[in-house]
Structure 1
Amino acid sequence: MNASAPSADGSGRRHEVAVYRDVRIPTSGPGVTLSGDLFLPEGAGPAPLLLTLLPYRRDVTALSGSAAFRWFASRGYPSLLVDLLGLGSSDGVRRPPFHPDEADDALAAIDWALRQPWCDGTVGMWGGSYGGMTTMRAAARRPSALRAIVMLESTADPGRDFVHPGGARGALGPLGLWSMTMLLGQLLPPLDDYADLTEQSRWRSRMRSKPHLLDLFRPGPDDPVWLEGRIDASAIEVPALCFAGWRDLFCEGTLRAYEEMSGPKRLIAGPWLHTMPNESPHVAVDFLELALAWWDRWLRDEPNGVDKAPRVSVHVQGGRPHWLGLQEWPADAASRPASLADWERTEPHAPDAEPNTPDPATGVLSGLWAVPSGPFGLPLDQHDDDTRSLCLTSLPLAEPLLLCGRPRVTVARAWSRMSVKLTDVDPHGRSTLICAGLEARVQQDGTIEITLNPTAYELPAGHRLRIAVAPGDFPRVWPEHPGGDGLPEVTGLVLPVLPDDANPEEGLDYPAPDPNSLLAVRSEPPAATSATPTPPVWEIANDLLGNTVSVRIALSDDGAAVRHSHGRGHRIRGRQEVTATAHRAQPEAATVTVSAAGDVRTETGQHVAVEAEITAAATGVRATGRITLDGSLLLDQQWRAELPLTEASSRQD
């Protein structure tokens, strides 16, 4: 069965695309407008609008050619990418991240679009990650013109799923890579029209503003601001197509939101990291065609059979990778308690630690799925992390075991924070991460049930299951001493299996994307250069003398990726490096440091150099920003915050 449904607009034509940069969208604030890039299919007539709202600056997004927006427009759908209030080229003062009023920006864009001659009165919204959150926020407000959504790798609870995973303070992801992305967006000059006085005014007035880093660091896991930022996915009644990645930090968030949505819905879950499914180096699928078929069905009312396909498609990982079609996501509808009586127990042991002492710095071998870094960073062999953890390992399986859902592990005498991983141990001893869970809230009697992330994974016969328990997961969260006496006891494991009446559909086929499809609608090619591209770096280093472990990621555009900004003569290049270091004997000394630089040579002849640094610890953060214009200092700013002494002390006890 071919699970995609390629289609075009009703005429079957492909359209030329006209692009309008920085269209101004009025809001309810007097004189306050949002900025958007509008992609119109020429000669299509009034049609449904596809809307996306992001905090990442549409002029920076345009550097890669805005290919997806152009592609949808070439298929007859006007597409609009909008900067959120106070960000990019939009007016106003930015809100804190994940603010519920971000939905107001979507409603303003919809109201404006409905008054335009190219819109037929219906709207679809889509986006991944943060764009998925703005999509769900708007859908939960139920504007009448919004008829369908597509959500990729996102969450309705960013506080718990991203900033403070499982209730523990987040480290590398929120305070490192994401905060630097937002800081660079704050410091980089405008790329649409650098010489425009209004753009210059926005840039210069915002460059000294408080960075997003402080919004993420100051409120702790129990701060009510994170409750306010939650999205009520149960209020989403429009048809929703959801994409989840098994190796994505928002896997649980996407599945949870899907389960709560109350309208027609479809789920496609693949083995992807935090990247678009059509751009993944692992089992890429043609996301654009799948989304197009969804729009055609629910925005154009075309009977293309999308609503007749399996409601749930999961890519089964493990020994026999394949797609499986289900009518329902299991959501723990069936489960199998495992008897742990004959499982082998091994206590943590490391040459640089006391016997039976857990390592607070375990986690680096889990890869970058929870950080995230993009298309690379799949989990590595977990063996060395396993030896530093408390483990229970089963006997070899007599027959294959298909897991589909959320495993649950019960622990007695738990540490104050519990990281639990389920792995697949092959006959050679290699340990492959299946899924993981993290929980920082233990019951008063010392027991805890940890629900692991959702998965679809098949273990071959002869392989063994392993439960690995540790007091943390670095660099996802800050390491700390576990506290208490002795080791926990794993008392229960519940494995998710398919119900007897699931009747899974085998043989689904999701074709890989056609790269020529996107190339045909890209904007002008990047500037030619003879330089050799600088490859990305992902490095794990153990300092045997210092008893530390470090994760380093380096990204650079200094070589062949020097680019012209969309239709402008600007030349832009940049670099970024992040290092997270954990001290095994002194976990409170862990740090995350990020340095980044951007170099812009504008078409008007100016040279703008941006440098930024972030240094974060569990008890305090510091950021610096420096901008020079033609060699003269324009900005030299520092921002910092520390936890109150009482909270910082309690973390170190």
Structure 2
Amino acid sequence: MTDRSFTTIENHWITLKDGTRLAARIWMPDGAESDPVPAVFEFLPYRKRDGTSPRDESTYPIFAAAGIAGVRVDIRGSGESDGVIDGEYTELELANACELIAWIAAQPWSNGSVGMMGISWGGFNSLQVAALRPPALKAVISIASTVDRYNDDIHYKNGCHLSAQLSWAATMLGYQSRSPDPEIVGDRWRDMWLQRLENEPFFMEEWLQHQRRDDFWRHGSVCENFADVDIPVLVIAGWADGYRNTPLMAVEGLGDKAKALIGPWVHKYPHFAWPKPRADFHGEAIAWWNRWLRGDRNGAENLPQVRAYILDAVRPAPRREFDPGFWIAKQDWQRPDMQCFYVEQFGTLMEGMPIPHAPEHAVHLRSPLDTGTTAGEYFTLKPDAEMAIDQRLDDAGSLTFQTTPLSADHDYLGRPVVTLCLRCDAETANLCARLIDLHPDGTATRVSFGVLNLAHREGNAEPKPLQKGERTTIRLTLDACGYRFRKGHRIVLSLSTAYWPMILPPPENPGLTIDIASIGFALPKLGAYETIDIKQPDNPDPLPKYIEHAPAATKRQVVRDLSADKTHYEIREDTGLFEHPGTGLSTRQLREEVWSIAPDDPLSMSGTSIWTCDMRRPGWYVRTVATATISCTATEWIIRASVIAFEGNTQIFEKTFEEKRIRRDLM
């Protein structure tokens, strides 16, 4: 790395062909007009001025000091950019991204080579834009993203309806309702704000119209045709996040064009993520950009296809600062050999294959509908109870099978698979399978899980109702994991018909009759590997420090109302009130979310998510309150939403989205 001086351009307007002005923050190496530099582009709706400024300021100055310009642009309708957002990863968004890449490449300070990167939304659209092949885009770094929008995002998972869909719809309604900063846009800030408030969509209305894997979800899912991506891609994820499948899917689909790095992390950049150990993202990224944007022969193309952290007998805890384990590399990734287990007649999980044509050993499973409260969030932002905690509470409502204590360590990397035969007296039901490390003291760590709407057992595009009472063979692929089960521990397979509130229940709850003699459980062997070291960040505390006016707080609890026979899962999050020392802008977001269900009534399910967003500086204060709810009948999902806005203490706007009753499609 060099140590080049640079200039931060707080706001630069980029005018698109349709006249829309988008707001960009640029970190520019000094002297770039006489000595052009490559550029890294990030395109998000999360507001460069306040929303992503801490992480931007932890990375782009490092890039600029290494002679790489950073261009962070707000999507239309976000931050200070004109217009109104029109959805997730829309054709307009991706077309705008291609236009911006061409604009960057044409600037006098640019060497004509552009990289695109991001985490989550920015990781998604980086891959999607790469598939469109804009000429100046030469490489991508995609963090905590997906190649399959239907099965590996916050909407649906193998046909199961994720509660995160409501959570995220409320989040985006809150985020997009925020005002632009008058310090940037001037006197027109209020008109821009009111335009957004009046016209922003409630994303869930569109998402619920597409409960199958149709063209809506195929759009932007690069797994539909991996060959569309013809540039190098570095794909990064964490085992503690919901997006843990993408790195291995990317290297399997893209081959030598992709490199994977998987750590123990939540949904954060790896140089400040938890649990530790962290990784030197800056060093990794600069080497990647120098190789593909500058042409430096630094060997980045020779990185192993897969580098992964293998968790070693991790213990769940309310907060996980550090996860024990070790880093491994596989130069060429091959789908792993599988170690097979079956369930013998007394319920023990034994190594080997199920006995062909064994007599049926039927066991009825009907989990309480509040089974799943130890699951944590689908995607995690903090290493606390957002992560899966001790699994014993959920095991009480599940059918569990365990090995005898292991006589040696067992190492795995990849996606476990469960096969079994079952019968059901309804057209559909949900099935959840969890791989658990049972410690000698009884502590139960969730290693991996998978869920399946049984109507989607043969695919997500054309679900098929179960034939009532008919024996049906099921194959369920769990999420990817990298894990060492220690000698003396037990491997556990846990099956349940509920996983609430992570997945919402089907309209009936008859339970499943499972033939335990048919159960096969295949775990992906780690196989041959090289033990490696991954460099830690030079700066152990890389995020900038802002002025604290009110501290952050979080609370997550399960309330079981025994008199009413109802369970409530409650979340309270407060980001605290923090002021950016350079802009004087203070922001705060509060999340209040409650899910409720009667353990024996799937139609009692309801969810409410409320986001309150504050922005202030001396003499100026605005607030928005966005609310979204979901409930159901046997045939419909019922959703509602509203937004209220305040200037000072005066309410200036209120919008209630018309109640939508959307047909449940085998869900």
Matched-pair contact (CA < 8 Å) for 1:136–1:233 = no
Q: Which residue of 2 aligns with 1:90?
A: 81
- Per the alignment, residue 510 of structure 1 pairs with 534
Change in Cα spacing, 1:342 to 1:83, as seen in structure 2 (3 Å) is same
Q: Per-residue deviation at 1:488?
A: 5.4
In the alignment, structure 1 residue 217 sits paired with structure 2 residue 208: yes
Which residue, 520, 523, 546 being the options, matches 1:526? 546
CA distance in 1: counterparts of 2:40 and 2:388, whole angstroms: 35
Specify whether residues 365 and 196 from structure 1 end up closer, same or farther in structure 2 by C-alpha distance, changes over 3 A only: same
Are 1:294 and 2:288 an aligned pair? Answer: yes
The one-letter amino acid of 1:406's match is R
CA deviation vs aligned residue, 1:472-496 (integer Å, no higher than 9, x gap): 3222211244436634545211121
Equivalent residue for 1:457? 483
The answer to whether the 8 Å contact 1:60/1:191 transfers is no
Match of 2:414 among 405, 408, 424: 405
The alignment of Structure 1 onto Structure 2 pairs a total of residues equal to 613
Give 2:620's match in structure 1, choosing from 580, 599, 606: 606
Cα shift readout 1:416-451 (whole Å, capped 9, x = no counterpart): 321111111122222211101111123555221001
Q: Distance in 2 between matches of 1:257 and 1:105?
A: 25
Amino acid at match of 1:112: W
Matches within 5 A, 1:329-478: 329-331=333-335, 333-341=336-344, 344=347, 357-368=366-377, 370-376=378-384, 377-413=386-422, 416-440=429-453, 441-442=456-457, 445-478=471-504
Which residue of structure 2 lines up, in the alignment, with residue 24 of structure 1? 13
Amino acid in the other structure paired with 1:36 = A
Q: How does 1:107-506 map to 2 (within 5 A)?
A: 107-176=98-167, 178-191=168-181, 193=183, 196-209=186-199, 210-231=201-222, 232-282=225-275, 283-319=277-313, 321-331=325-335, 333-341=336-344, 344=347, 357-368=366-377, 370-376=378-384, 377-413=386-422, 416-440=429-453, 441-442=456-457, 445-480=471-506, 481-483=508-510, 486-487=513-514, 489=516, 491-499=519-527, 502=528, 504-506=529-531
Does 2:28 correspond to 1:14?
Answer: no
User: Judging changes above 3 Å, is the alpha-carbon distance between structure 1 residues 384 and 267 closer, same or farther for their aligned structure 2 residues?
Assistant: same
- SS of structure 1 residue aligned to 2:240: coil
What residue is the counterpart of 1:4 in the other structure? none
Change (3 A) 1:223 1:640: farther
Tell me the CA shift for residue 459 of structure 1. Answer: 0.6
Q: Is the contact made by 1:620 and 1:640 (CA closer than 8 Å) also made in structure 2?
A: no
Match of 1:581 in 2: 596
**Unpaired stretches in structure 2, ≥5 consecutive residues:** 314-323, 350-362, 459-465
- The correspondence for 2:664, drawn from 630, 647, 650, is 647
| 1:217–1:621 contact (8 Å) kept in structure 2 | no
Deviations 1:196-254 (A, max 9, x none): 24443322111022222323334323454222342344321211111121121111134
Q: How far did 1:454 drift?
A: 0.9
Q: Offset at 1:414?
A: 5.3
TM-score, normalised via structure 2 length: 0.85
Distance (whole Å) between structure 2 residues aligned to residue 192 and residue 310 of structure 1: 48
Q: Aligned partners of 2:186 and 2:605: how far apart in 1? A: 44
Partner of 1:350: none
The offset of 1:128, in angstroms, is: 0.9
Match runs of 1:562-641 below 5 Å: 562-564=578-580, 567-603=582-618, 605-618=619-632, 619-641=637-659
Displacement of 1:34 in angstroms is 2.6
Q: Are 1:343 and 1:395, in contact at CA under 8 Å, matched by a contact in 2? A: no
Partner of 1:351: none
Query: Alpha-carbon deviations, 1:362-415, whole Å to 9, x = none?
Result: 2221222x1444443222111121121112212222211111111110021155
Q: Once the two structures are superposed, what CA deviation does each residue of 1:90-143 show, in whole Å capped at 9, x if it has no partner? A: 334433213244321221111111221111111111111111111001111122
Relative to its length, the structure with more strand (as a share) is 2
Instruction: Report SS of the residue matched to 1:88.
Output: coil
Amino acid paired to 2:179: P
Compute the displacement of 1:581 (Å). Answer: 2.5
Q: Deviations over 1:302-337 (max 9, x none)?
A: 233333333311111123611111113343x31222
Structure 2 counterpart of 1:253, which letter?
T
Segments of 4+ in structure 1 off by > 4 A? none
Distance 1:100 1:230, change over 3 A: farther
2:629 partner letter: T
**Contact residue 6 and residue 27 of structure 2 kept, 8 A:** no
Q: Is the 8 A contact 1:240 1:265 kept in 2?
A: yes
- CA apart distance, 1:267: 0.9
Paired residue for 2:564? 546
> Which of 39, 43, 64 lines up with 2:27 in the alignment?
39
Taking a change above 3 Å as real, the CA distance of residues 627 and 92 of structure 1, as seen in their structure-2 partners, is closer
Answer whether contact 1:175 1:217 (CA < 8 A) is retained. no
CA contact under 8 A between 1:13 and 1:75: conserved in structure 2? Answer: yes
What is the TM-score when the length of structure 1 is the normalising length?
0.87
Distance (Å, rounded) in 2 between the aligned partners of 1:54 and 1:540:
34
CA RMSD, aligned part only? 2.6
Contact 2:14 2:24 survives alignment (8 Å): yes
- Aligned to 1:448, the other structure's residue is in SS state strand
**Contact 2:553–2:574 at 8 Å: present in 1 too?**
yes
- The DSSP-based 3-state class of the residue aligned with 1:112 is helix
